[in-house]
Amino acid sequence: MTAAATDASPQQAGRLGLLSQVGYGAGQVAGQVFRDVPSLLLLFFMTTVLGIEPALAGAAIFVPKLVWGVGCDMLVGILSDRWKQRFHRRWWLLAGVIGSPAAFLLLFHVPMDLSTQGRVAYVAGAFSLYMAVFASFSVPYLAIAGELSDDPHQRTILMSWRLVFTAAGVLVGGALAPGVVQYLGGGQPGYEGMARVLAVICPLSLLIAFFGAGRASRQAGRAPAVATGDRLTARAALAVLAHPRFSVLLTSNLLQLTGSGMAYAAMLYFLTYNMGQGAGALQLIGGLIMVACAGIIVAQPMWVALARKVGKKPVYVASAIGYALTYIIWSVNAGAGTGVAYGLCFIAAIFNSGWALLSFSMMSDIAGEDRAHAGLYSAAWIAVDKIGFALGGTLLVGIVLSSFGFDVARSMAGLPQEPRALTGVMLAFGVLPGLFNLTAAALYARFGRH
C-alpha cells in the first residue's frame, strides 16, 4: 500500500487519513469470518461430527444461502439506498453487532438427540438466520467504500486495506477457529467452543468499523444524501445491474468465487485424506492459513502499484490465471509434502489477493460513480459472493464427493478413504476451481471493460 496521509493533515478531495482507512477496513474481519467459517468448517462438521451425507449436507447449506442470503442481500441493498437520506449506511453495522453472537452460537450448537433429518433441518434453519444477519451488515459495509472517495486510485488503496483485514479475518476463521476446535478436543464440544470465541470477535470488529466509517465520512466531507422521492422498480433494478460494465465483472466474479469456494471447502478433506494428515489436518490448515495471510498482506503494495501503472483489468486477468494454475498444480501433487504445500499456498494467496483486490476496486468505482444505486450494486455483489461460495463450497463439493464414493462412516471412524474418493477430493480441491478461474479470466479479458 502507498502511504496515506495522517488524520491531522489537510485532506485533498476524496483523500482519507490512515486511521480512517484502518477503522473502515477493520469491519472486514467480521465479514470474512462470517463468509469463511461455514465454507471451511460447516460441511466438514456436518459430515464428520453430525454424520450427514455430503450431498445432503451441501444442500442444507446451499438452499439457505440461495434463498435467505440472496433475498436478504437484495432487500438490505434496496433499503439502504432508499433510507440513506435518513441515516448513514454505517448504522446498519449495529445490526451485525447485535445479531452476530446469536448467529454463531445457534449454528454450531446442534442438539445431538435429533434424528438425522432433524439435524439437517436445524442446521438449515440456523443457517437461514445466520445469512440474514450477514446481509444486514455486509451489504451496507461494502457500499460505504464507493461513497468515501471520488479518486479511483484512492478506492484501490481503501480496498487494499480491506484486503489486509481480509487476511486478519482469514486468520481468525481459517487458523484460530480450527485451532480452537482442536484445542477443545474436537467433536461437538470443540465446535461449540469455537462458536463462543467467534461470537465475541465479530461484534468487536463491527463496532470498530462503525466508528471508523463515521470518522471517514466526516473526513471525506460527505453531505447527507438528498431524498429524491424515486422508488426503484424491479425492472429498473435489473436494467442497472445488466449494464455490461457491471454484469460482465459480476459474472466473472461468480465463476471465480465458485471455484474458490470449492477449494476452500475441500481443503480439510484434501489435507486429511489426500495428504494423509488425518487428525493433524486441523493443525496443518492453521499453518497454511497463516502463510496465506502473509501472502495477502505482502502482495498489496505490488498489486496497488501494478494497477496504477498498467491498469486494473490486465492485473485482474493475470492474477486470476496465476491463481488457477497454482491450485491445479497443488491438487495433483498431494504427495509432495507439507513444505511444497506451504509454498504453493503462499503463491496462491498472492494471486488470490490480486484478483480479489481489483474486482472489489472496479466494483467500487462503478458504485462510486453511480451513488444512487451503490446499495444495489453492493447487494448484487455480496449476493453473488454468497451464491458462488455456496454453490462451489457446499453444493458442488458435496455432489462431487458423494459421486466419487466418499464414505461418511469411514470418516467418522478416522479411517482413510478409497482411491476413487481421493480422486473426487482432488477434483474438488484444485482441478475444478482452476477451471472456473481460467474461464472467469477469459470472460473478462474478452468482454470486460473498466
Q: Is residue 10 part of a domain?
A: no
Grid cell, residue 205, equals: 470488529
Q: Of the given ranges (125-134, 244-253, 278-287, 395-404), which has the lowest mean pLDDT?
A: 278-287
Q: What predicted TM-score, i.e. pTM, was given to this entire model?
A: 0.71
Q: Is residue 13 part of a domain?
A: no
> Which residues lie below 8 Å from residue 285, measured CB to CB, with a gap of 6+?
40, 174, 175, 178, 267, 268, 271
Q: Is residue 149 part of a domain?
A: yes
pLDDT for residue 45 is more than 50:
yes
Question: Which pLDDT does position 450 carry in this prediction?
Answer: 65
Neighbours of 188 (CB within 10 A): 16
Q: Is residue 6 part of a domain?
A: no
pLDDT for residue 3 is more than 60:
no
Question: Which pLDDT does position 87 carry in this prediction?
Answer: 67
Q: Is residue 237 part of a domain?
A: no
What percent of the chain stands above pLDDT 70? 88
- Specify whether the CB–CB gap between 351 and 322 falls below 8 A: yes
Question: Which pLDDT does position 151 carry in this prediction?
Answer: 67
Q: Is residue 83 part of a domain?
A: yes
Question: Which pLDDT does position 386 carry in this prediction?
Answer: 78
Closest to 334 measured CA to CA, from 266, 411, 256, 402? 266
Alpha carbon distances (Å) from 128 to 190, 198, 237, 362: 23, 18, 25, 30
User: What is the count of structural domains for the chain?
Assistant: 1
Q: At what angle do helices 312-331 and 338-369 cross, to 10 degrees?
A: 150
Residue 415, classed as helix, strand or coil, is coil
Q: Is residue 229 part of a domain?
A: no
Question: Which pLDDT does position 154 carry in this prediction?
Answer: 67
Give the residue numbers spanning the domain of 293: 18-224+243-447
CATH number of the domain bearing residue 416? 1.20.1250.20
Q: Of the given ranges (11-20, 276-285, 345-354), which has the lowest mean pLDDT?
A: 11-20
pLDDT for residue 108 is more than 70:
yes
Residue that wins the pLDDT comparison between 289 and 151: 289
Quick one: which H or E segment has residue 230? none
CA atoms within 13 A of residue 398's CA, in its CB half-sphere? 26
Q: Is residue 230 part of a domain?
A: no
Grid cell, residue 283, equals: 493443525
Long-range CB contacts for residues 219-224, cutoff 8 Å, separation at least 24: 219/7, 219/11, 219/16, 219/17, 219/20, 220/11, 220/14, 220/16, 220/147, 220/148, 220/149, 221/11, 222/147, 222/148, 224/85, 224/88
pLDDT for residue 5 is more than 50:
no
Question: Which pLDDT does position 228 carry in this prediction?
Answer: 46
Quick one: which H or E segment has residue 301? helix 281-310
Per the prediction, the chain carries an average pLDDT of 84
For 50, phi then psi, to 5°, come to -85, -15
Question: Which pLDDT does position 232 carry in this prediction?
Answer: 63
Question: Which pLDDT does position 344 carry in this prediction?
Answer: 96
Question: Which pLDDT does position 4 carry in this prediction?
Answer: 42
170-221: pLDDT as tens digits: 889 888 998 899 889 888 999 999 999 999 999 999 998 888 777 666 655 5
Amino acid letter, 194:
M
Q: Of the given ranges (10-24, 85-99, 257-271), which has the lowest mean pLDDT?
A: 10-24
